[in-house]
Structure 1
């Protein structure tokens, strides 16, 4: 089954502009139907899920052009991010001493370097 960009937008909020952009990057293989509308297959929808999950995990689109990580690899990355965020949340409650504050700064600097600089 094929889905028009309008159908996808109505059901998900994912815009035609994004679909065109990802298609121009060759991350999607959107085609035009007989009416000239851009249409996507189930496989394209699966690729959108993979692209969006990759972006959340910190991958840049230019990196995805050469090779998209598998969903299991992305899930492992997201699981690690969640564990790291839980650790950050735990430590943010530990600000009662100068030593804990210093540890929080070190921890947050490490996470900034690990995650935020990737973006």
Structure 2
């Protein structure tokens, strides 16, 4: 059972000790203090960190994760839909500047904003 200090996790991932402590306080991670008083994680917590960051991208609030833990399959499905939505937006940006295309893009952007960004 390999333990990683928050400094080691930071060097590997860029995730700060403050973020780790916050996720731990929300009981999303099981960080503990070692004999030296350092906050440490199990190597298996790296998968949980990836899951936390992925659900944040898809617009979930971290506090929502306390009650429900979406599966990686569900998260991948959400991310796939986000990519499809962004591709639609990019498609209409590339078209000529007709009023119809502007209106279509505004609707797509508004839907994207509502669906993903306002969840936060």
TM-score scaled by length of structure 2: 0.91
Task: List runs of 5+ in structure 1 lacking aligned partners.
Answer: none
Aligned to 2:10: 9
Q: Answer whether contact 2:59 2:118 (CA < 8 A) is retained.
A: no
Contact 1:95 1:101 in 2 (8 A): no
> Where in structure 2 are the equivalents of 1:1-119 lying within 5 Å?
1-119=2-120
Structure 1 residue 109 displacement after superposition: 1.9
CA–CA distance in structure 2, aligned partners of residues 15 and 96 of structure 1: 43
TM-score normalised by the chain length of structure 1: 0.92
Matched residue SS, 1:40: strand
Question: Aligned partners of 1:13 and 1:56: how far apart in 2?
Answer: 16
CA root-mean-square deviation: 1.3
Residues 59-93 of structure 1 deviation map (CA, whole Å, 9 limit, x = unaligned):
10110111121111101100110011011000112
CA displacement at 1:116 relative to structure 2: 1.9
How far apart, CA to CA, are the structure 1 residues paired with 2:44 and 2:102? Answer: 48
Distance 1:23 1:90 in 2: 41
Asked whether the 8 Å contact 1:6–1:16 carries over to 2, the reply is yes
Deviates more, 1:35-44 or 1:76-85: 35-44
